[in-house]
Amino acid sequence: MPVAVLAASAVWVVLADARVERKQAPASEPAGARFHFFDVAPTAGLRRVVHAGRPDKPHLLDSAGTGVAWLDFDRDGHLDVYVVNGWKLDDGTVVEKGRNALYRNRGDGSFEDVTEKSGADGGGQWGCGVTVADYDNDGWPDILVTNFGPNVLYRNRRDGTFENVAGRLGIEVPGWNTGASFFDADRDGDLDLYIAAYVDASLEDVLKATRTLDWKGVDKVAFGPFGLRGAVDHFFLSDGKGDFVEATAQAGLEDRARGFGFAVRASDFDGDGDPDLYVANDSDANYFYRNEGDGTFREIGLWNGTAFNAQGAAQASMGVTVGDADGDGALDIFVTNFSEDFSTLYRGVGKGFFEDATVQAGLGEPTFLPLSWGAIFADLDNDGDQDLVVANGHIYPQVDSHPEFRLSYGQRNLLLENQGQGRFVDVTAEAGPGFQLRRASRALAAGDYDNDGDLDLLFTHLDLPPSLLRNDSPTGSWLTIVLEVPPGAGTAIGAVVRVTAGERAYTRDLASSDSYLSVSDPRLHFGLGSFRNVDRIEVFWLDGTRSLREKVGANQFLTIRKDHP
């Protein structure tokens, strides 16, 4: 076992021991409050403004926002943060090309901006999304940034610095690239890559844009996406030697409808042992690509229930998160959509089929008015079921001039508490000051940055620094599982973990992307309620092997290595 791996594992355990006793209800919370979140970004050092074009947002690129990632780039046991940045414009002039930010977690609740010395500032591109994975199987996380322009793949040099290898690997594909996901499509042990794209647009189109679309007969707003030409998505197959080959058509992943692609999420949705792929398309049918078992795919969204909502309508989809909302062991898909249309919960009913369960889950009303982007399933109170967090914010600042429509540009993000069996209740108002902020939020990712056993939340907003909502809620027991694969021995991405405690079972999968253009904590977090230990932990690795642990104590970071079944 490499020393670095051992050291990282040991660090997780020590930190868990030190922090677990600190949990207590904040004194300022009203009696009975289940959640308390506080924005610590300014004091923690996450201060760089995320630029988003012009104030009046005349082009959709001004409004699309950027992604965030939780990663441990230096493998010191503390989650670091990567924030993608856009450009600042003034009419048709570029005022500032925003720099992406890499923040190193100091381990004391604060972050150091190490962008400069890491060399991972994005290179002056207008950034969009981010995904993190060890694409070259060397044991260190690498960072892919999708851009409005050529993509950037930062290979981790293992010394705190990165080099951009996207051009050499042929994955730059200049355009308006958005969501991306590394996953092992053909289960050969190395990671392949899907990159979604939104609209065919040039920088000149963006700089010259004016607001021409009529909005409710009262104002002019940014035009599109209807009326704009969709850009095609790309799929790259890894050759196992660190190179990628474009294989979009061969793999059956041709974007023939030219969907307006945003978020991408890979997961074994049908439980047959290979990763499938879901792509959220804005205003078009969403794609569900079923893996046929040989690394080729078949688009089945039209008949497995995931292309449209229950009414058969395409929605303006932005973000995707995957979890087990009702605890039945089948993965569910939650897709965020435009304002005045609800976000949709596709409940997994087994064998890769889904049903729109939005209304039954109580998600129709709270998600109807907001314009939603990032979303995550996360057990925020460690009670054993996955809650939902949704990042909101309108794309038209002009809505603030028309209060009669009950909409606003800055919107509160949503915390929807799972009351068990997948029924959600809006508890935003009682979730602490962090959830009372009104911003044009976009990306969202969950991670336990202070290693105290609960998940904290990271958001990006347009034209503001990010928010880091520290979770100070009173919580139950927990278990966080770190999956490790020795360098050169395949990938942990795509593994499914099932934890059993008493009569309850909890399922999570490890993905390189989730939410909106973002990636959450690479460690899998399980809330356990009152359980002080779990009976079984099963890890189903993508190559068909399985690891098993029995009688494991709660409230710890547990590392499971693939070569230790």
Residues of this chain that interact with other proteins (CB under 8 A) are 226-230, 255-258, 284-285, 299-300, 302-305, 307-308, 311-314, 351, 353
Nearer to other proteins, 32 or 227 (CB): 227
List helix spans (H) across 124-223: 166-169, 203-208
Q: Which residue has the tokens 């960072």?
A: 143
Q: How far is the CB of 146 from other proteins (least distance, A)?
A: 22
Is beta strand 477-484 parallel, antiparallel or unpaired with respect to 556-561?
parallel
Q: How far is the CB of 272 from other proteins (least distance, A)?
A: 11
State CA 85 to chain mean position distance. 16
Q: How far is the CB of 487 from other proteins (least distance, A)?
A: 39
Beta carbons of 265 and 320 less than 8 angstroms apart: yes
Say how far apart CA 508 and CA 496 lie, in whole Å.
6
Nearer to other proteins, 129 or 230 (CB): 230
Beta carbons of 527 and 479 less than 8 angstroms apart: no
Say how far apart CA 89 and CA 435 lie, in whole Å.
29
- Provide the sign of the torsion angle of the four alpha carbons 242, 247, 251, 252, taken in this order: positive
Residue 130 parent element (H or E): strand 126-133
Q: How far is the CB of 199 from other proteins (least distance, A)?
A: 10
Phi, psi values for residue 407, rounded to 5°? -115, 160
Q: How far is the CB of 305 from other proteins (least distance, A)?
A: 5
Phi, psi values for residue 13, rounded to 5°? -65, -45
Nearer to other proteins, 69 or 307 (CB): 307
Q: How far is the CB of 228 from other proteins (least distance, A)?
A: 7
Nearer to other proteins, 223 or 368 (CB): 223
Say how far apart CA 87 and CA 203 lie, in whole Å.
11
Nearer to other proteins, 156 or 281 (CB): 281
Say how far apart CA 394 and CA 401 lie, in whole Å.
13
Q: How far is the CB of 307 from other proteins (least distance, A)?
A: 8
Q: How far is the CB of 176 from other proteins (least distance, A)?
A: 15
Q: How far is the CB of 321 from other proteins (least distance, A)?
A: 22
Classified as helix, coil or strand, 38 is: strand
Say how far apart CA 247 and CA 261 lie, in whole Å.
18
Nearer to other proteins, 218 or 302 (CB): 302
Quick one: CA torsion of 135, 138, 513, 61, rounded to 10 degrees? -60
Helix H, strand E, coil C: the string for 265-333 is: EEECCCCCCCCEEEEEEECCCCEEEEECCCCCEEECHHHHCCCCCCCCCCCECCCEEEECCCCCCCCEE
Say how far apart CA 207 and CA 85 lie, in whole Å.
17
* Paired tokens of 524: 């899998």
Nearer to other proteins, 356 or 484 (CB): 356
Nearer to other proteins, 199 or 407 (CB): 199
Q: How far is the CB of 46 from other proteins (least distance, A)?
A: 39
Nearer to other proteins, 95 or 302 (CB): 302
Nearer to other proteins, 196 or 539 (CB): 196
